Amino acid sequence: MDNGLVLLVDDEPVVLRVQAAAVRQFGFETLIAETAEEALMVTRKHRPSLVISDVQMPGEGGFDFVDALEKQGLKTMPVIYLTGYDDIEIIRGGLRAGGDDFVIKGGSVERLRKRIAFWMASGFQELPSDLRRRALLAANAVRGDAFRDVENHLVFNQGLVDRVVAEVKSELAPLTADFGVRLVERVCTMGRISKLIIDASEGFGDYVRFPDYFVTVVHTVQPGWARDFWPLLKRFEDWSCDTRFVLAGVEPLQPIQNYEWFMEGLA
């Protein structure tokens, strides 16, 4: 994977120029593809760090492209979908295909710039599979035209973050200053924050925004070892698939007195 390389996929040259300008503002290099077939070949050759793909294109569209990435084992980066349709079907189709984020065309370029900055710096490689599943289930439950303005449901939920931050701070307060120095305690903290965010989530938008919430909670709480979280986030999917990670999120944070429970089954 080429660090800092962003692939832009769109059949409209004007849109590509706008996207390229947003990307280059951060000093990242860009590659351009005008069809899903071309984008697949470019991805196979260059392994970009981020993909920004239009949904509606002649022939195979953005969903087909990302689905092909998944099936060929090339989906090793976040994918932001760009769409001109603010519709719940876009969310459903995008999540099923393997997309990680959504930006509605016609809005502020600043929104696209913020999403690029987040995915290139957060440490997350994708929307975790469990959150994708939860988001898809919630999106499938939507009926009628009530949620046609889906972008409003993807807005960052500051109230949710505030509640989780307050809980994490209260659990950290009685612990010793060296809590989190050990890897096992950082992993357990990841599990706990994840569980608190999931419990506080109310709809598909909150599940899609899980990576944003997690990063913001850690930045806000700012433990002395917060910097050591970021390498762990690149393997978040691996951690979250482990039963021990899930169980660690159920109970309030506490010092890990021994490693026996955590090391079980690893020998």
pLDDT of residue 160: 98
Interatomic CA distance for residues 81 and 71, integer angstroms: 18
Q: What distance in Å separates the CA atoms of residue 173 and residue 175, rounded to the nearest whole number?
A: 6
pLDDT (0 to 100) of residue 267: 43
Alpha-carbon distance of 146 to 88, in angstroms, equals 9
Identify whether residues 181 and 257 lie together within a single domain: yes
Q: How far apart are CA 34 and CA 144, in angstroms?
A: 33
Q: Which of 67, 100, 121 is the last residue of a domain?
A: 121
Task: Check residue 142 and give its pLDDT.
Answer: 81
Q: Which residues contact 220 (CB under 8 A, 6 or more apart)?
A: 161, 165
Question: What CATH number has the domain bearing residue 10?
Answer: 3.40.50.2300
Side-by-side strand order, sheet with 101-104: 29-33, 5-9, 50-54, 79-83, 101-104
As a whole number of angstroms, the distance between CA 103 and CA 55 comes to: 10
Over the stretch 228-262, which tens digit does the pLDDT of each residue have? 888 899 999 998 888 888 888 999 998 876 556 55
Query: Does any domain span residue 21?
Result: yes
Q: State the total domains in the chain.
A: 2
Same-domain check for residues 101 and 169: no
Q: Within the chain, which residues score under 70 in pLDDT?
A: 1-3, 144-148, 257-267
Q: Is residue 248 part of a domain?
A: yes
Nearest residue to 240 (alpha-carbon basis) of 116, 121, 124, 71: 124
Distances (CA, A) of 148 to 105, 152, 205: 15, 9, 13
| 132 belongs to a structural domain | no
From 71, 103, 121, give the residue that closes a domain: 121
Instruction: For residue 170, give the 3-state DSSP assignment.
Output: helix
Q: What are phi and psi of 79, to 5 degrees?
A: -125, 125
Element housing 82 (H / E): strand 79-83
CA 179 to CA 25: how far, in whole Å? 39
- Asked, for residue 136, whether it belongs to a domain, the answer is no
Q: Give whole-number Cα distances, 256 to 95, 111, 162, 176, 205, in Å.
A: 37, 41, 26, 12, 34
SS3 (DSSP) at 101: strand
Domain that residue 92 falls in = 5-121
Q: Taking a C-beta distance cutoff of 8 angstroms, is the pair 168, 192 a contact? A: yes
pTM of the model: 0.91
Cα–Cα dist 115/211, whole Å? 11
- Say how far residue 265 (Cα) sits from the centre of its chain: 29
